[in-house]
Amino acid sequence: MITQAAIKHNDQVHVGKNHGDIMYRMITERCFNYDKPAYTEGFVDDTGNFLTRREAAIEAFECGQILTKKLSLFSYDLEGK
């Protein structure tokens, strides 16, 4: 089951309500390393595993969090769930 949005950056996983909020917090708290700007947006599941957007879409569908199969999961897909 998907529990939170997440961004993986420099081998650290930052979580929050949505990816925009997470990125804003990373920048304002100086957690974002501009020397290594690559990051991956995804989600974490109920066991704390980081999943890419594609992996999270599969998990959310299989757990009944979304009703239709998707190629990629977005935070708004889970709003109100």
What's the pLDDT tens digit per position in 6-18? 999 988 999 999 9
Task: Reply yes or no on whether the pLDDT at 40 is more than 80.
Answer: yes
- Please give the backbone phi and psi of residue 3, each rounded to the nearest 5 degrees, phi first: -115, -35
CB 58 within 8 A of CB 45: no
Domain extent, residue 18, equals: 2-78
d(CA 26, CA 31): 5
What's residue 14's pLDDT?
96
Cβ neighbours of 70 (radius 10 Å): 15
Task: Reply yes or no on whether the pLDDT at 20 is more than 70.
Answer: yes
The number of folded domains in the chain is 1
The residues that bridge with 50 in the sheet, in sequence order, are 44
